[in-house]
Structure 1
Amino acid sequence: MQFIKSLSFLLFFLTGFAVSAQNADSTSFEAQRMRVNKLIEDRKVKFGEYDLSLEKKSAIFGLFKSKDDMQRTIDILKNIVITDNNIFLETRRLISIKDDEKQKFQNLASEYDKQVSAYMGTINKLQKENEKLKKDIENLEGSDNSSNILLYIALAIIAVLSYLIYRNQKITKG
């Protein structure tokens, strides 16, 4: 019974440890996901600026684009490309975190599987030992009964012999 209590405590402890580890990993994953989402929002804003920059014409009577307008559009486009590169890098980190989490959980699952298998083996071993002890007890109880029968027979023989000796002495005296 003590073994089962210890086993349940161990499983409870391991489950609690796994949940706390999962919370730490989830926090890091969530922080990385928020970084990627912020970069995507920044890209949307920059792309809106790019659209406005394409429409802006400040050259002769607002009919043509000036050199400055074109340079501003190119700079905005460069910023969009830099943001895209950052999005790719941060997304790669996000995927790496997710892959690490997946690998860690697979390792935990295989470790728990090994532990459960070991516990099951121990339980089976203890059950077999328990059955063996029950059989030994039954054998001992059976041998006690046979020795008790022999004791009763011996007592009966002693009683008969005692009676015969007593009777024999009474006949010889009388």
Structure 2
Amino acid sequence: MQSLKRLSILFLFLISLSASAQNADSTSFEAQRMRVNKLIEDRKVKFGEYDMSLEKKTGIFGLFKSKDDMQKTIDILKNIVITDNNIFLETRRLISIKDDEKQKFQNLASEYDKQVSAYMATINKLQKENEKLKKELNNIDSGDKSTNIFLYIALGIIAVLGYLLYQNQKITKG
């Protein structure tokens, strides 16, 4: 019973350790996720600017796009492509963090499983040793009982012999 309490306390301790490790990993994951979300928001803003620049016509009488309008549209499009590349890179990091977390938890689970198995094996070994010692104690107690019986028989024989000797001396004197 005591060993089960110790095992459950150990198990709770291991869970608390993994929870604190998970909090640290979750923090970096959340920070990375926020970076990706910010990049996506930046892309939305830039794409809105791109739509507006497509509509903008400052050429002759506002009917045509000027060279500056075209260059601004191209620059905005370049920024969108750069932002997209950053989104891909940051998303790849985010996936890497998640994969690392997954691998870490699998390793922790495997390690905890090995530890729990080792503890269970130790508990089983101790239980078997305890049973063996109980049997030895019972054998010793049984041996003591048989020794006590032999002692009582010997004392009875000595008492009978003593009585017979006493009677024999009484007869020879008398």
- How does the TM-score come out when normalised to structure 1? 0.93
Q: Distance in 2 between matches of 1:27 and 1:16?
A: 17
- Corresponding residue for 2:146? 146
- Corresponding residue for 2:43? 43
- The correspondence of residues 131-142 of structure 1 with structure 2, limited to 5 A, is 131-142=131-142
- Corresponding residue for 1:64? 64
Q: Deviations over 1:87-142 (max 9, x none)?
A: 00000000001111111111111111111111111111100100000000000000
- Corresponding residue for 1:26? 26
Unpaired segments ≥5 residues, structure 1: none
Aligned residues between the structures: 174
| Cα contact 2:3–2:123 (8 A) shared by 1 | no
Shift of 1:14: 3.4
Shift of 1:85: 0.2
Q: Deviations over 1:62-87 (max 9, x none)?
A: 12211111111111111100000000
Letter in 1 for 2:154: A
Q: Distance in 2 between matches of 1:6 and 1:113?
A: 16
Q: Distance in 1 between matches of 2:165 and 2:154?
A: 16
- The correspondence of residues 157-168 of structure 1 with structure 2, limited to 5 A, is 157-168=157-168
Letter in 2 for 1:120: M
| Cα contact 2:29–2:98 (8 A) shared by 1 | yes
Q: Distance in 1 between matches of 2:141 and 2:97?
A: 65
- Corresponding residue for 2:77? 77
Shift of 1:2: 7.7
Q: Distance in 2 between matches of 1:157 and 1:59?
A: 138
- CA RMSD in angstroms comes to 1.8
Q: Distance in 1 between matches of 2:120 and 2:60?
A: 86
Q: Distance in 1 between matches of 2:101 and 2:73?
A: 42
Higher relative contact order by CA 8 Å / sep ≥ 6: 1 or 2? Answer: 2
Q: Distance in 1 between matches of 2:165 and 2:112?
A: 78
Of 23-32 and 11-20, deviating more is: 11-20
Q: Does 1:123 align with 2:123?
A: yes
Shift of 1:50: 0.7
- Corresponding residue for 1:171? 171
Q: Distance in 1 between matches of 2:118 and 2:47?
A: 59
Q: Distance in 2 between matches of 1:9 and 1:127?
A: 19
Shift of 1:54: 0.9
Of 93-102 and 3-12, deviating more is: 3-12
Q: Does 1:100 align with 2:96?
A: no
